């Protein structure tokens, strides 16, 4: 075990765990967009930045291993300021439209913008890339105008489903998630398992089957048995 102080609380952490894992273990809320405990860490969104005493720059909690006598602040003024800037940078390419978005009320980006009081981006002057929304398949709607490039969908497709149907193409502002040769999902190795929808933190990937059938806060989750492949997995 290692000893670590987070927000003034002295805690013990299993050796090898990250700052984020310890925070979660002790109920300390740290915002994350690109982290999923089941997937390889990417450290790309930087929403989880924290201040570590003695380090000159903010550290991504999801990618920082705990060390003995480490002193961490998760909501210091510098951290809050950095998260606001990060949200503005994300909004610079996020074509919002929360009013009609299927994820309204169940969107991490929306939650964090609300939490940190960020309503618009000061970095959107150059214009946002615009992507067509239509993808001719019966199951998954892909609206990359709402994508924050967390790559959770890519990692889920790679390591949970092992379909490897999608990846990142282009660079910088033009970077986006796409199938090989940027074609339709139906022409790729996608098996339409829906894992990408489950991990997407925004409305970039949604189910066409549930479209218009109720917002997240209007529907009740129940346990059910998936009939897709015959294995009989229990899902919520
Ligand atoms: Fe840590 Fe995205 S959650 S960098």
- ipTM, 2 dp: 0.97
The domains located in the chain, with CATH, are 2-75 (3.10.20.740), 93-235 (3.30.70.20)
pLDDT for the residue numbered 225: 83
**Residue 203 confidence (pLDDT) above 80:** yes
Mean of the pLDDT values across residues 76-100?
A: 92
Q: Write down the pTM of the prediction.
A: 0.89
Is 80 exceeded by the pLDDT of residue 56?
yes
d(CA 157, CA 152): 8
Residue 79: pLDDT band (50, 70, 90) is very high
Q: H or E stretch including 161?
A: none
Centroid of ligand 1 to alpha carbon of 49 (angstroms)? 7
- Between 83 and 105, whose confidence is greater? 83
Q: How many CA atoms lie within 13 A of 46 on its CB side?
A: 16
**CA 94 – ligand 1 centroid, Å:** 18
pLDDT the model gives residue 163: 81
SS3 state of residue 72: strand
pLDDT, mean over the chain = 90
Q: Is 43 in the pocket of ligand 1 (CB under 6 A)?
A: yes
- Rounded CA-CA distance 21/30 in Å is 10
| pLDDT value for 196 | 94
Opening angle at CA 23, ends 18 and 24, nearest 5 = 100
Q: Is the pLDDT of residue 231 over 70?
A: yes
The residue that leads in pLDDT, 153 or 223, is 153
Closest approach atom of ligand 1 to CA 61: 1
Q: Is residue 23 scored above 80 in pLDDT?
A: yes
Question: Measuring CA to CA, which residue among 60, 12, 66 is closest to residue 34?
Answer: 60
- Asked if residue 228 has pLDDT above 70, the reply is no
Query: What is the Cα Rg of the chain in Å?
Result: 19
Å from CA of 32 to ligand 1 middle: 5
Cβ of 34 closer than 6 Å to ligand 1, yes or no, is yes
Buried b (16+ CB within 10 A) or exposed e, 220-236: eeeeeeeeeeeeeeeee
- Asked whether the predicted pLDDT for residue 207 surpasses 80, the reply is yes
At 161 the pLDDT is 76
- pLDDT for residue 229 is more than 80: no
Ligand 1 centroid vs 137 CA: distance in angstroms? Answer: 31
């Amino acid at each position: 075990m290692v000893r670590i102080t987070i927000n003034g609380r002295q805690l013990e952490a299993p050796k090898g765990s990250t700052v984020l894992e310890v925070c979660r273990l002790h109920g300390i809320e740290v915002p994350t967009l690109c982290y999923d405990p089941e997937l390889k860490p990417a450290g790309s969104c930087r929403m989880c930045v924290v201040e570590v005493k003695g380090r000159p720059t903010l550290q991504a909690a999801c990618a920082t291993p705990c060390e003995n006598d480490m002193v961490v602040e998760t909501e210091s003024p510098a951290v809050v300021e950095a998260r606001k800037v990060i949200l503005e940078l994300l909004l610079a390419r996020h074509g919002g439209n929360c009013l009609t978005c299927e994820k309204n009320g169940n969107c991490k980006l929306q939650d964090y913008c609300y939490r940190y009081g960020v309503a618009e981006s000061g970095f959107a002057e150059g214009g946002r890339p615009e992507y067509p929304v239509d993808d001719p398949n019966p199951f998954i709607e892909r609206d990359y105008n709402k994508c924050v490039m967390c790559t959770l969908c890519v990692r889920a497709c790679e390591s949970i489903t092992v379909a490897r149907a999608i990846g990142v193409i282009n660079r910088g502002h033009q970077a986006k998630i796409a199938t090989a040769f940027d074609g339709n999902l139906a022409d790729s190795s996608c098996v339409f398992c829906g894992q990408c929808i489950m991990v997407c933190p925004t409305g970039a990937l949604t189910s066409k089957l549930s479209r218009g059938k109720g917002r997240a806060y209007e529907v009740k989750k129940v346990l059910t048995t998936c009939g897709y492949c015959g294995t009989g997995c229990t899902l919520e």
